[in-house]
Chains A and B, each alone.
Chain A
Amino acid sequence: MPDQPPSPTIELRELSRVFPTEPPVRALEGVDLTIYNGDWIAIEGPSGSGKSTLLNVLGCLDRHTSGTYLFEGMDVSTLTDRERAGLRGRRIGFVFQSFHLLGHRSVLENVMMAEVYRHQSRHERRTRATTALEKVGLGHRPDFMPTRLSGGEQQRVAVARALLGAPSVLLCDEPTGNLDSKTSDMILDLFAELHEEGYTIAMITHDSDIAQRAERRIHITDGHLQEAS
């Protein structure tokens, strides 16, 4: 993949998101952003800057108010809810600050959950999930319960879940927010490896130390984007 000429995975044109409160909140305004296949991009900003809104729009968890959002050339605004859900399930891998692992399911079952809403046969699902776990270095603990893992290990399980089925982009919301600096570095090392392999990663953070590990850095302030050169 790295040898292919970069093609845009995500293209935002004049995109805005206005919350219809009184007075209306313009969380995003006139956003232009292109994320190319294989990019590792960090979106930095203080709280209230609009970075979470941007992530939700990018992740098809929220609809934008105006402008254009093309996901692999497909206009997201024309999709039905079910198609957007399908897009989330197959093309986007989410990694959250609080991991969101199900405590009563084993590590392997948590990873396998990624395929549940893809209307996909269970054939070899276990093998695929094991491969994903091996990729994040947890191949030896498939039957552990998440509660017995450290925070860093839990986040790696979440990354494995996000990787299952080779999504077009990994969307990470403060992926190291709940981790100490040493563990954070390990997670970022993992992202670096994935980036090397050609994965497209978009990472939201308020921490510039984290953001500097990324290849591209974008600042968001009051709903406006500014790319660091």
Chain B
Amino acid sequence: MRFRFQRKKSTDRSGDLSGITAVDLLDEVSAGLFARPGRMILTVSGTVIGIAALVATLGLARTAGNRILGRFDELAATEIYVTTQPVADGETPEHLPWDSPERMQRLEGVVAAGNLATVDTNGALISTSPISDPATQTEFELPVQAASPGMFNAVRAKVANGRLIDEGNSQRADHVAVLGSGAAIRLGITSVAQMPALRIGDELYSIIGIIDRVARQQDLMGAVIIPEGTARKEYGVTTPDLVVIETQIGAATLIAKQTPLALRPDNVTVLKIASPSEPKRVKDAVVNDLNTLFLLLGGVSLLVGAIGIANVTLVSVMERTGEIGLRRAIGATRLHIATQFLLESTSMGFVGGVIGASLGTFVVVGVAAFQGWTPVLNPVMPILAPVGGAVIGLLSGTYPALRAARMEPVAALRTGT
């Protein structure tokens, strides 16, 4: 490499111009760096920590953000609740058709749909024991819900034990019940293996299953759930209170529009449809909050790294005053001196960036693996981080390099040893 920024005065002098080959320059830079390996490692570690923190925080922000969004999206963006419009006292409330789930299933984009109705048991208490023990409470006041078979899918119920209510149970109006885990604990039921039963008032019901988790309608966890057909027959339930619909992602808005026509073509205004509204905006807000915070953290650590490089390079320039003087005497121009120090600080930043990016990626993958998450990293990051490190090194080295270049060789040779 030859620095040609000054015009040549005449051809016979050009052979006398000061210059340095790329090989020699790199040799001098690496020799300068490795003259004090311990210090170089410490200096680089500042950038390593900064870049690692930045890559890790950005990666974790994305990973965690993705995690939050995943849950948030899935649930909120795919659910529709249908109820009837409330009516004033005295008026007859509107009804939802019993075949709402079937009607909804016919629509493209509906994953699951089910009815839910609160059963009015006239204050009947629920008990699993035929004997009334005065010492302990054996009868409980628990909500009773009537569910269509599709309901369990629509709320994503997870069976802990036994099975769920099926179509046959509903059609035959079987006396079977599924317990939410909360209700099961209160009633002292842990398993359906021994075919336990419960009484609602005086009616006996076989407990066929226990559910331990629902994604929606958390009330169900504390309830006794009986088949829809049974509730209609035994308790005279006339209409579902709620239709729960799960749609495919992105289909909710369209399905919500179609629902009134599907369920009440005679009078579309009596239904109240609750569907997700613009979840994207909420999601963006969450992501932005996360990113701003983490970017700030990474930026601060990077700034600390940059100051570290600037500081050490400056100290190095001061210590190498004699060397700078000597280099000027043996033919180095100011530009050569500045270039050498800039390259030294830049390569320290670059190496710090490479190591930092690797460490940061490790942290993201490690944390994600530990949490069972999917690590999400911007693929540009591992490439950008070393470049960023190099830029930081370059910027940090600018002032020290200028100081070195401005040094008068005479004074440098006099003071330095």
Chain A residues with CB under 8 Å of chain B are 52, 56, 59, 61-62, 74, 78-83, 85-91, 94, 96, 98, 100, 102-105, 109, 113-114, 116-122, 161, 173
Whether A82 lies near B330 (C-beta < 8 A) is no
B281 within 8 A of A: no
Neighbouring A residues of B31 by C-beta, 8 Å: 102, 104-105, 109
Whether A114 lies near B333 (C-beta < 8 A) is no
- Given contact pairs A61-B409, A86-B19, a sample of 19 additional A-B residue pairs in the complex whose CB atoms are under 8 Å apart: A80-B6, A85-B333, A88-B331, A89-B330, A94-B326, A96-B326, A98-B417, A100-B417, A104-B31, A104-B34, A104-B36, A105-B31, A116-B332, A117-B18, A117-B327, A118-B331, A119-B18, A119-B19, A122-B21
Whether A122 lies near B23 (C-beta < 8 A) is yes
For A52, A62, A81, A86, the residue with the greatest tally of chain B CB atoms inside 10 Å of its CB is A86
CB < 8 Å neighbour of A100 from B17, B27, B28, B416: B416
Whether A61 lies near B328 (C-beta < 8 A) is yes
CB within 8 Å for A89 and B9 given contacts A62-B410, A104-B35, A122-B23: no
Whether B16 lies near A102 (C-beta < 8 A) is no
Q: How far is the CA of A105 from the CA of B18 in the complex (A)?
A: 23
Q: Which residue of B lies closest to A62 (CB)?
A: B410
> What sequence of 0s and 1s flags, for each residue 364-402 of chain B, a beta carbon within 8 Å of any chain A beta carbon?
000000000000000000000000000000000000000
Whether A116 lies near B13 (C-beta < 8 A) is no
Neighbouring A residues of B21 by C-beta, 8 Å: 119-122
Neighbouring B residues of A82 by C-beta, 8 Å: 3, 6, 17-18, 333
Chain B residues with CB under 8 Å of chain A are 2-3, 6, 9, 13, 16-21, 23-24, 27-28, 31, 34-36, 322-323, 325-334, 336, 409-410, 413, 416-417
Q: How far is the CA of A161 from the CA of B18 in the complex (A)?
A: 17
Q: How far is the CA of A122 from the CA of B331 in the complex (A)?
A: 16
Whether A61 lies near B329 (C-beta < 8 A) is yes
Q: Which residue of A lies closest to B21 (CB)?
A: A119
- 21 contacts across the A-B interface (CB closer than 8 A): A52-B410, A61-B329, A61-B413, A79-B9, A83-B13, A85-B328, A85-B336, A86-B18, A89-B18, A98-B322, A100-B323, A100-B325, A100-B416, A113-B330, A116-B330, A117-B331, A117-B336, A118-B18, A119-B2, A121-B21, A173-B413
Closest chain-B Cβ to A104's Cβ sits at a distance in Å of 4
Q: How far is the CA of A52 from the CA of B19 in the complex (A)?
A: 27
CB < 8 Å neighbour of A83 from B17, B323, B325, B330: B17
CB within 8 Å for A116 and B20 given contacts A80-B6, A89-B330, A94-B329: yes
For B23, B36, B323, the residue with the greatest tally of chain A CB atoms inside 10 Å of its CB is B323
